[in-house]
Amino acid sequence: MSTIHDLFQQYKPRENFWDEMCSEAGIREPYSVMYEFFKNTPVKALHEREELSKKLFMRQGITFTVYTDNEGIERIFPFDIIPRIITAKDWDFIGKGIRQRLKALNLFLKDIYSDQQIIKDGIIPGELIYSCPHFLRQVVGLKVPFDIYVHIAGIDLVRDSDGSYVVLEDNLRTPSGVSYMIENREVTKRIFPNLFPKNNIRSVTDYPLILHDNLVSLSPRQVKNPGIVLLTPGIFNSAYFEHTFLARFMGIELVEGRDLVVENHHVYMKTTRGLQEVDVIYRRVDDSFIDPLEFNPNSILGVPGLMAAHRKGNVAIVNAIGNGVADDKAVYVYVPDMIKYYMNEEPILKNVKTYQMADEDEREHAFANLDKMVIKMTNEAGGNGMVMGNKASEEELEMAKQNILKNPREYIAQPIVNISTSPCFIDGKLQPRHIDFRPYALCGPNGIEIIPGGLTRTALKEGSLVVNSSQGGGSKDTWVLMGK
Amino acid sequence: MLSRIADSLFWISRYVERADGILRMLKVNYATSLDQSTSSFSWRPALKTFTSLSDAEIEAIEKNSQDVLYFMIDDKKNKNSIINIITQSRENARGVQDNLTLEVWEAINGFYHNVKNRQNLIINDPLSSITDMIGDCISFYGALEITMMRGEGWSYINLGKFLERSLQTADILESKFNELSVDQKKAIAIPYWRHLLLSVSGYEIYLRTYRTGVQSKNIIDLMVHNTNYPRSVLYSLNHVSQIFSALREVVQPDSHKKIEYKIGKVRSKVHYSDVDTIYRKGLNNFLRDVKKDLYIICDDLQNLNYSG
């Protein structure tokens, strides 16, 4: 009978990549507890646990729907049962880096929508900001409570081949996936109940409560029970499960645009007992759809008049409108400069080297080395418009170049990062798959809290460096260990 | 509570109640069909009550249990097939799941997946499958009863359940009586009614309650008036009335007054009717009248929202 001991013995990490579990010397220390625990378990038991995990996701309705022949088929997001482990020391470093970065980004957003001192001082070119489609003139000069713009951030980190953490994206608009962080943990508790007490794993369950407290603190009315809602685009949104999850565990109302109405610059929800005032909106609707009077006039997901109510200070909106300008991949280049400029500190977390295609010298350099580059669109997310130079054909690369030359501002190029691998249970074996890491940070009036855990996304195909769920990636539970 | 949510909650349980009624009817009919030679058993009354098939369409399948079960449970073209009803119920629940407890949501979601993924019904013993699905209805009701907060949401869920139940009982009674001629109604004995009573879980209660008298009148008394019988029209209406009155504090006063009046009116109509009068004036007229009132109340409840 084969046991998990055999699986660990047979595990072969890829050369030239950092593997989370194995170094050349063998299994890394944090994973040894898991190994000791598992080693005599038969492989069959792992299969059973995997089946159980699928049933649990299905039963809870943590699914998305694929439509073929007009018939919806429900699928669960691929879940790998082997947890990823992050040491207390690494976590400490990541936490400091994220705090520093978010402080700078908040200061940047405040500055860019008011005095624009950073442009005047020549740190960031004005034309870069003004040409960003997510820089919204509608919110210039708008005051937000406590000067907080980024209430929730899901910064994407990857590990380079030397094991160092690098920031890939900041995700300051409406980062998703936090429900998977919590549900992956719940499922792992169910499938490996005995593993937990031995491992000193930090809890992730407080996320909704901390977020709720922050939302309450933003209420413009000082009342005992402010009206707090989560605004969802509706049941067909791919993150709808997450919206219901968060509304449920914060005990707030889940509303759609059609449930809200604005009267005299106050926002109300339509209830069976009449209109009830709404003070804080945690919205999962994009900026451009939030108010048809000021943005996309065809939007039926938003609320007409919402922006005017917001401008009067009668309703708080989370995350702030207009954050997208700081998510622009060409503006990302300047985050280390923002940290130096606003905080006079050295950046703790590194950026990936990024070439701006609007800059002629950088573009020439990137074009000459395209086979080692990944091309990304500056204002797309979820892997849309991404071209991997090492995988693309000659024609695809030529096409990419043409596109870039047409609209250089919309593209950046980055050297492909050799992102780390983690063992995944696939086809009855442990196999290395590339992963990234998205911890979630919450900013409130009392500072920044980072939930000790996060979402580890995994590429499912062997050798693939693309982990986006929209590109077929999966996820796994992520353990942050307590310090000794 | 958001008006949209109140409406969804109302429908979640209305659909489950309908599924429960259909499944119980299918179970008893199927068991009966096994008892009798195929030439004498017909699904006609059941199909008349629970579908909108034409006489010709009914004739095509009335003797074929396999076809009927497929049509009533799995056929997506049948608007009231179990798969369609439960999909609707679950879609409503999905849209308001943060207003249900996790256990209630998981019960309805699990029910949906069980119906959807169940293997071929006929090959795999229909009675067990139907019994399992009835079990899913019971799990749903159990989760509601044990875990849901007693508030506005709970009230809408129960209004849907009891209104659907009163309508269903009236429907079943009407179609069963329509099969019989006037003379038959007087003469017919318990074995004939056993089938009906079993399919509405009323057989044991009937035997305990009614020892003498004209059977068909007793049947009407049980299904319309008997408040110890949880599927009778009056039992259901008493609950509707009680639940709705308790919403006085949270529903807009004008709408509340209007609907409360209508509920009170139909409840009195049923309460103060007696079997002999109904019998004399015609059961059909009576039931149609009651059903019309109930449909109006259902509509009013669905429009019970902020209209501005």
Span A111-143, pLDDT tens digits: 999 999 999 999 999 999 999 999 999 999 999
A339-357 residue pLDDT tens: 999 999 999 999 999 999 9
Coil, strand, or helix at residue B274? coil
Sign of CA dihedral B92, B96, B100, B104: positive
pLDDT of residue A69: 63
What is the layout of strands, in order, in the sheet containing A260-263?
A: A260-263, A266-271, A274-278
Going along chain A from its start, the domains and CATH numbers come out as 89-181+200-343 (3.40.50.11290), 353-415 (3.30.1490.270)
User: Looking at chain A, which residue has its C-alpha nearest residue B90?
Assistant: A61
Helix (H) or strand (E) holding A120: helix A117-120
Residue A415's DSSP bridge partners are A373
Percentage of residues of chain A with pLDDT beyond 70:
98
pLDDT of residue B184: 62
Decide if pLDDT at A470 tops 80. Answer: no
Query: Which residues of chain A neighbour B97 with C-beta distances below 8 Å?
Result: 61, 244, 248
Q: Which residue has the tokens 């949270």?
A: B250
* Euclidean distance between CA atoms B156 and B161, whole angstroms: 9
pLDDT of residue B272: 95
B97 touches chain A (CB under 8 A): yes
A249-299 residue pLDDT tens: 999 999 999 999 999 999 999 988 889 999 999 999 999 999 999 999 998
The DSSP letter of residue B74 is: I
Helix (H) or strand (E) holding A421: strand A421-426
**Do the Cβ atoms of B307 and B3 come closer than 8 Å?**
no
From residue A129, give the alpha-carbon distance in Å to each of A115, A336, A361: 13, 16, 20
Report the candidate in A98, A259, A203, A137 with the shortest Cα–Cα distance to residue B6: A259
Its pTM stands at 0.85
Q: How high is the mean pLDDT of chain B?
A: 88
Decide if pLDDT at A26 tops 80. Answer: yes
What's the rounded mean pLDDT across residues B243-267? 92
Under an 8 A CB cutoff, do B2 and A253 touch? yes
pLDDT of residue A39: 84
More confident residue, B123 or B118: B118
Give the gap in angstroms from C-alpha B308 to the nearest C-alpha of chain A.
9
* Euclidean distance between CA atoms A406 and A277, whole angstroms: 48
Residue B306 — pLDDT band, cuts 50, 70, 90? Answer: very low
Under an 8 A CB cutoff, do A248 and B102 touch? yes
Under an 8 A CB cutoff, do B109 and A271 touch? no
B102 touches chain A (CB under 8 A): yes
Under an 8 A CB cutoff, do B251 and A256 touch? no
Buried-exposed string B189-200: b where 16+ CB fall within 10 A, e elsewhere: eeebbebbbbbb
Q: Which residue has the tokens 């209630």?
A: B104
* Euclidean distance between CA atoms A190 and A373, whole angstroms: 42
Residue B307 — pLDDT band, cuts 50, 70, 90? Answer: very low
User: Looking at chain B, which residue has its C-alpha nearest residue A74?
Assistant: B113
Decide if pLDDT at A377 tops 60. Answer: yes
* Euclidean distance between CA atoms B268 and A466, whole angstroms: 68
- DSSP string covering A299-345: -SSS-TTHHHHHHTTSSEEESPTTTHHHH-TTTGGGHHHHHHHHH--
| Secondary-structure percent of chain B, ordered helix, strand, coil, rounded to 5 | 75, 0, 25
What are B273's two structure tokens?
């009717």
Give the gap in angstroms from C-alpha B146 to the nearest C-alpha of chain A.
18
pLDDT of residue B178: 75
Residue A65 phi, psi dihedral angles, 5° rounding:
-110, 130
pLDDT of residue B308: 35
Q: How many CB pairs under 8 A join A and B?
A: 66
B26-62 residue pLDDT tens: 998 888 888 766 567 888 888 988 898 999 999 999 9
Residue B261 — pLDDT band, cuts 50, 70, 90? Answer: very high
Query: Which residues of chain B neighbour A233 with C-beta distances below 8 Å?
Result: none
Under an 8 A CB cutoff, do B1 and A261 touch? no
A171-230 residue pLDDT tens: 999 899 999 999 999 999 988 888 877 778 999 999 999 999 999 999 999 998 999 999
Decide if pLDDT at A439 tops 60. Answer: yes
Residue B242 — pLDDT band, cuts 50, 70, 90? Answer: very high
Give the gap in angstroms from C-alpha A232 to the nearest C-alpha of chain B.
11
